[in-house]
Every structure is written in C-alpha cells, then in structure tokens.
Amino acid sequence: MSGLRRAAARAWGPPRALRAFSARPRDRIVETVGKLLQTKAQLETEEGKKNFILKTPKGTQDFSPKQMAIREKVFSTIINCFKRHGAEVIDTPVFELTETLTGKYGEDSKLIYDLKDQGGKEELGCFCMSGPAQARMYLQNHSSPSPLCSRKNRAYEGMVNDRRILSGVFAACGVPESKLQAACSTVDKLNKMTWEDVKNEMVGEKGLTPEAADLIGEYVKLHGGLDLVEQLLQDPRLSHNKLAGEGLRDMKLLFEYLMLFGIVDKISFDLSLARGLNYYTGVIYEAVLIQQQNDRVEELVDVGSVAGGGRYDGLVGMFDSKRQKVPCVGVSIGIERIFSIVNCKVKASKEKIRTTETQVLVAAPQKHFLAARLKLISELWDAGIKAEMLYRENPKLLKQLHYCEDTGIPLAAIIGEQELKDGVVKLRDVATRQEVDIPRQKLLEEIRRRLES
Amino acid sequence: MSGLRRAAARAWGPPRALRAFSARPRDRIVETVGKLLQTKAQLETEEGKKNFILKTPKGTQDFSPKQMAIREKVFSTIINCFKRHGAEVIDTPVFELTETLTGKYGEDSKLIYDLKDQGGKEELGCFCMSGPAQARMYLQNHSSPSPLCSRKNRAYEGMVNDRRILSGVFAACGVPESKLQAACSTVDKLNKMTWEDVKNEMVGEKGLTPEAADLIGEYVKLHGGLDLVEQLLQDPRLSHNKLAGEGLRDMKLLFEYLMLFGIVDKISFDLSLARGLNYYTGVIYEAVLIQQQNDRVEELVDVGSVAGGGRYDGLVGMFDSKRQKVPCVGVSIGIERIFSIVNCKVKASKEKIRTTETQVLVAAPQKHFLAARLKLISELWDAGIKAEMLYRENPKLLKQLHYCEDTGIPLAAIIGEQELKDGVVKLRDVATRQEVDIPRQKLLEEIRRRLES
C-alpha cells in the first residue's frame, strides 16, 4: 500500500462514479427522464428560457477532445513510469466515510466535501488526499505492503529532507517539543515568504525566542548534497540528537543510491523543505520544475512544486487499535498543475495535437462507393487497424484528403472504379502525397509495414 | 458528441475527484490532519476502539491489484475498440447541477445522488447516465458532433429495434398517442415477465383494450433479419403509418450495412426491444451475452444485456431555447456486469492474473550485491525496460527466483561475483529455467529480442 500506487490507480483507474451508481434499476431512469421532459416543457416557457443557464458545478470543468488527448499523454507518461518500476494498481472509492477521515467525534473540515447518502444514514466525505483511504483499505484487507521506488522526470529536479533531521535541528536550536510542529509549518512557508517574515512569525506567533529562530535560520538556509550530509553528521549541535543522527545516516544512504541511479545531480538536500503534514516520519521530498533556457513556459504559468511526498510509517496505525507500524512511502502528483504547464507549452509551440489514433482513412474518388468503402473499412477493422471513413454517402475526394490532413491521419486507402476492376487499392501517403496501387490481398501487410516504419 | 465517446472517456478518463478537489491550499490539509490526529487519540480510548469499524461507504468498494488488473484488461479492450473506429474522448464532471438534470422546478429523484457544495449555493447531483452531461457540454461549446459506428464483440450478440417502428406498431394496433409511452415501458418488461403478465399490465394498469393488447402481442413476438423487415414493409396495418415506414426503411439500410460488415448473423431485429427511456428517437439496440457451450459462466452469474443505447436526436434540443435538432447516437456499457462475468471466468479457469507488467527481475546469488543490483536495474529502467528487484539487502537467490514465478516475471538478470569479473549478466528464462551468459553491453538488445518473440 503506497501513495505511488495510489497515484497510479488514480491515473488510469476506472470511473468511480460509474461503479458507485451503475446498479440502479431502469425504472428510476424512466422516472427521471420523465422529469427531464418536464424540464423541457418548463424551458419552453419564456421565464424558463431566461433563467436557465448551462454550466458545470463550481470547481469542475468539461474537457474537450484536445484537452483529453494532452491529459492522456501526461497520464500515460506517469503510468508508464510507475509500471516500469513494477507498480501494482489499487482503487478506493471517490468518497470515504467522514468518520474515516475526521473520526466520529471530529468536526467538519473545509477540506472535506460533504455528501449525504440517499438514505441519510451515512456521512460521506471527499478527501483531497489518498493516505487515509489507503490506510483503511490496508487494514480491512491485511494485504502486505511492498515498498516502491520513484524516479524523477528529466524536466524536473527534486528536493529532499527528512522529518527527523528537521526535528533534530529544531531541538538542537532550543525549540521545545510542544512548539515543534508549529515551527515546522512556519519553515514550510520559506518558499513563499522571506526569511525575515518567517522569523517574525516564529517569534511573534509561535513563541520561539529570537535566538532559537536565528539559529534555525542558519540551518534552514543550507542545501547541498552528500557533502552537506557529511558536514551535518560532524555538527556538534546535531551529533547528540538521536533523531537527527538517524535521519542523516539514512540521507547518506539515499545519496549513495542516487549515485548508483545516476541522478545525484538532480537532487538537492534542502533543510528548508518541511511539508506541512505532520504525519511524515522520515524522508520527505518535492519535485520542482526548474527554469529552462529557451523555454517560454516560465513566462506563461506560475510553476514550482509539481509533486511531493514522503514516508509516513505511522498512518496505518492511526486507524488500528493495535497501533502496528506499517512502512509506507508515497507521492502525490500535482496533475492539474502539470496539465496547465503542458497546455501552455503546446499552445506556445503551435504543435498540432491529434485527438484520434486513426491510421487509415478509407476514401473513394467517385460517387456510389459507400458499399465498397464499408466493405474495405470492415476488413481493416477486423485486422485491428484503426480506420475511419467519412459517413456521408458521396463525399468529394478533396474533402476526404483534407480530413486526413486536418486530423493527422497518415494513410488514405482509396478505392474507385479502376481500383475495383484491377483488384487493387490505391494507398496514399498523406504527408508526401505519393500514391501506389497495392493488390488487395497484400493491403493489410503493406499498411502494417508502413505504420511500423 | 456521442455516448460512444462518453463511454470511452469514462473508461480511461482521469480522476474526476482529483480534478475537483486538487486545488485546495495546504493549510487546510494541515488543519484536517490535525483532526486525524485527534481521531487517533480518540481511537486510543476503549470506547473508540469498540465503535470504530473500518468500511467503505454504502454502494462503493475497494479494488485489489488483481481486480484492477482484470478491470484494466476489460477497459483496454473496450477503449481499443473505440479507438479502432476513430473515437475522440471527452470528459464531464462526475456531478452535474441538479437543474441540468431535473430542471430547476423539478423534484428530487431517487436516481440522483444529492450533494451539497461547501458554500451551500449550488445543488449538485450525480446522474447514472451520460446523456444530459453531454448535451450540456455540447450546447456550451458548440462543438460539432460526428456520428460514430460501433461493433459487437464476438462474445455477444445484438438486438435492434427502432422507436418509430414500435410507435407505428402501437398506433396501428389502436393505441392512442396519450398511452403510447406507458405501453412502451410495459413491453420493455417482456424480458422479465411473461406475455400474459405484460398483457394484464397493459389492459389493467395502462388502460389498453384487450384487442389492442392482443394485436400488439402478435407483433412484439416477432424477431428476425432482413426478411422480417421486408415482411413488415408489406404489412397492410403498418404501410399507412409514416413513422413505421421511416423506421423500417432505415432498418433495411442498417441490415445492408451489417451484411457489408459481415456481422448480419450476429444481430436480431427484435420487436419486443423497447428500452424504457423515451428520449430515443430512432434505432435502439442492446448487446446480449448468449449462452455458450462448454462455458461455465452461465452457471455462475446472471447475465443478459451488457450494453444498450440508441439514437436520441432530441436530447440536445431539450436544453436549448432554439430547440435545434442535433443527431446523437450513444451506447452505455454495463461495465460492472462485464467485470462480474470476467471475474467468474477467471476464477473458474484458475488462470493466473499478473498484477504488474514487470519484464525482468534483477537478482544476485551472493551477499553484498545491492549496489550492483541497483546499478543494473537503473540501466534497465533508463532503457525503458520494466524491471524490479527485491528491496532487501541480501535476499536468497531461491527467494528471488520464486518471486519471478509467483508474479509471472518472464526473465531474471542475475549478477554475481563471476558475472561481474567476466563482464556478463546471466539471463535466465524463468519458464524453461535455461540460463545464458550475455555480455553486459549486449544485455539490453538480448532482453528486447526475447521480450518481442
């Protein structure tokens, strides 16, 4: 059970809505459609027309074929990365019982989208994180967790830190245990606030001494690699702190692995990385989009952290009366942010996005060839070739060829009087406009050969 | 805009929940996790332990890696079928404004899952059908719809009918316009009820005369192919009915196309097929799983209709003040029913389901080879090969080989003292247990060759 798997599951998981709502009897559909017809009647009144505005619910949106093509590309890149590393997939419902999320005595939270089930018996909530759902599923099923390893995409760099190192630093700087979490969430704001503001918050709001804050400032400004780890292992203030020692020794091991993976230059050990959630128990990390030369992305969208996560060995135990410790490591991917960036890139590059995967357009140069086209396209479909044809009875050849160019179909299989007589199909390469007659029985083979090359 | 596309979108659509809820600030996460910690404290009390039962919300479930592997296979079969026919993908939110579904003056329906948004300003609903969402998206975006063509899977057969033929039959049998829809939904029960019960309902509840009901009975018992279409085109009762004539002429055309597609023997023109929804305006169809010889599926699960749909040219107009007619044809797939069937099949066959796509396990026969394994697996990952290794420091070789057998990994790349000295990797075929030393620089090539064959 791991956030990595969760992210993968989310990425190509099946439609949860379908799953949850697909079992309802048709009678109810009939009933509801009756109401839709009622609506129709109401819309026909003048007042109805004036007041009815079509829109999606707040916070949601529709996706066009072009947007979906981009999303699918991004998802498949992520999914393939997970699969390359041996990931399994799980899926949990889109909502959880509120008591799983906040506890039955807990208050509502703004983070949780409230839902009422039909019977009004269960409190439901949608949660923007996957950890609690996975913890529940794990405990319900006793499936054994296996660790997973994630790698950074070339376009991104990573920052790592360790909760224990941060705790050790705070303790070494004189922060009492009771103020540790508060101090931690203030440090987490360093990417948005100046050090002065962070210090003011620590001293003013969180009640740290100015001396402790200054000392913390010395540490959280540090970032580097294995050398920094070694330096801190020698630091007299930290050497007596058990947690910091454990964290630093694990960080050293991590950097040894990063070297073996050949990605040590992409990862920065950064003591300002805190991440707000106090359920982390060890390593924490974020993937950050860095400014690239000759790339207009930075001008277009506000980027930064695009993924983050860490180790949270205590989460499962929170839901378990035996409080067993279960090793968990996870990552959440800021998928909407990545989509925005890719969208901007696509717009800036004026790259043409295909919204279908069609390989062949079946076309005819003369009238009355609908039957011939249907027969040919059926042969292609049966052979597993992705094919389309224009559904009009007698489309103009030029219109058919333009359709190929507009939608990016690479090949056209043209069948007309002469071709039918000669037992051939004219195969056209849409890009080069070259046409060759291919014997009908060799057509599938020739199409496959061209698609492979 | 079409239900076919919708089904495809649903199938590999991205996580709607993530989309809807991913933009919330981290502060709220911190706040909520605070509450989770509160829950933790409460769970530590005796009463908390007693009362806290982990479960998923009513009507939802978790999916294990094995279930997800099966689901992914089913989804990819469906998606590939859509892609082969040139489908585009769209996605609409998991919920719609209730007014889009029932109209702002409509009552609640049991079909609609009520939701309240956080601000309490919008009424939200989850609807178990995709038509209204697509109609709304179409009208909001003015994108041009294009028709799509669907084909039946080999395992299934199809029934077709046409709303206009059914209307014509009812009219010809003396059913007044006002009772047409009621009579239609009664006929729709013919697959669950005997003709006698259907007749009783028509006469008793729906107010048809016994004579009309008997006459309808003559027609709705009919099923066949092109011959039946021809016969009805000559039927003196139907020949004067405009709607029936249109429907029958289109049905004839459909059967001509089915012949060209080579699937005419898989489709039955069935006059009892009514489908409850009165938004259909033309052809209606259902895919039915038929009993197969030597196949224990039928004994295991209750099957029947697994997909259905039709033409609904009036739906977009319902939401549009100009009432424009937009050609729409769609199909809904009973995905949960298909999963049940496939699940039973898998269980009965004792077929081993892989939950990962891992191609190579990187293994070592001796201790202290963690670094060598990490370096080798990194090379495989960088080359796009799906690879795993056991994450323990010094796993036994036998354990590593058993892992391959248990999880279905076809190849093991073994690196030990001798191999390191000789500059080779021992490549093991897990099925045949044959091992060959491959020079390190030829390893990727050899792995790719073996995976392709």
- Residues A295-342: tens digit of each pLDDT: 444 444 446 788 999 998 887 777 776 777 888 888 888 888 888 888
Tens digit of each residue's pLDDT (9 = 90 or more) over B52-86: 567 777 677 788 889 999 999 999 999 999 999 99
Nearest 5°: the CA angle A441, A445, A447 is 110
Q: What is the Rg, in whole angstroms, of the alpha carbon atoms belonging to chain A?
A: 29
Q: Say if A144 is an interface residue toward chain B (CB within 8 Å).
A: no
Task: With residue A267 as reference, give the H or E element that holds it.
Answer: strand A267-270
Report yes or no for ipTM above 0.85.
no
Which chain A residue shows the shortest CA-CA distance from B259?
A: A375
Question: Is A40–B318 a contact, with Cβ atoms under 8 angstroms apart?
Answer: yes
* AA identity, residue B445: E
Secondary structure of residue B341 in the 3-state scheme: helix
**Is A52 in contact with B106 (Cβ distance < 8 A)?**
no
Q: Would you tell me which residues 431-450 of chain A have a C-beta closer than 8 angstroms to some C-beta of chain B?
A: none
Shortest distance, CA A233 to any CA of chain B (angstroms): 23
> B412 by DSSP, 3-state: which?
strand
Q: Test B384 with A84 for CB contact under 8 angstroms.
A: yes
| Residue A279 annotated in ligand binding | yes
- For chain A, list the domains and their CATH numbers: 156-291 (3.30.930.10), 360-452 (3.40.50.800)
Q: Binning pLDDT at 50, 70 and 90, where does residue B422 land? A: very high
Of A18, A29, A100, the CB nearest to B10: A18
The DSSP output letter for B265 is G
Interface of B with A in 20-49 (CB under 8 A): 20-24, 26-40, 42-44, 49
* pLDDT tens digits, B315-353: 777 777 677 788 888 888 888 888 888 888 888 888 889
A357 touches B at CB < 8 Å: yes
Q: How far is B157 from chain A (nearest CA, A)?
A: 17
CB contact under 8 Å between B102 and A36, yes or no, is: yes
Q: One-letter amino acid identity for B266?
A: K
Q: Any CB–CB contact under 8 A between A388 and chain B?
A: yes
Closest partner residue to A386 (CB to CB) among B84, B113, B260 is B84
| A349-381 residue pLDDT tens | 888 899 999 999 999 999 999 999 999 999 999
Mean pLDDT of B419-437: 97
Rounded to 5 degrees, what angle do the CA atoms A133, A138, A144 make? 145
Give the pairing of strands A305-311 and A113-116: unpaired
3-state secondary structure of A127: coil
- Span A385-441, pLDDT tens digits: 999 999 899 999 999 999 999 999 999 999 999 999 999 999 999 999 999 999 999
The amino acid that residue A120 corresponds to is G
The Cα–Cα gap between B406 and B66 comes to 13
Least trusted range by pLDDT, from A124-128, A172-176, A449-453: A124-128
Contact across the interface for A57 and B122, Cβ inside 8 Å: yes
Mutate to test the interface with A, among B37, B39, B97 (most CBs of A within 10 A): B39
CB contact under 8 A, B336 and A384: no
Q: Letter for the amino acid at A41?
A: A
Residues 264-303 of B with CB under 8 A from A: 276-279
For A289: left if phi > 0, alpha if psi spans -120 to 50, otherwise beta; the answer is: beta
pLDDT tens by residue, B119-172: 444 444 444 345 566 666 666 654 333 332 233 333 467 889 999 999 999 999
Residue-wise pLDDT for A224-256, tens only, equals 999 999 999 999 999 889 999 999 999 999 999
Cα A321 to Cα A81, A130, B87, B351, distances in angstroms: 36, 21, 50, 37
* Window from A142-151, A162-171, B219-228 with minimum mean pLDDT: A142-151
pLDDT at A18: 28
Is B275 flagged in the annotation as binding?
yes
If you average pLDDT over each of B21-30, B56-65, B235-244, which comes out highest? Answer: B235-244
pLDDT at position A6 is 34
User: Please, which residues 84-123 of chain A have a Cβ atom closer than 8 Å to chain B?
Assistant: 84-97, 99-107, 109-119, 121-122
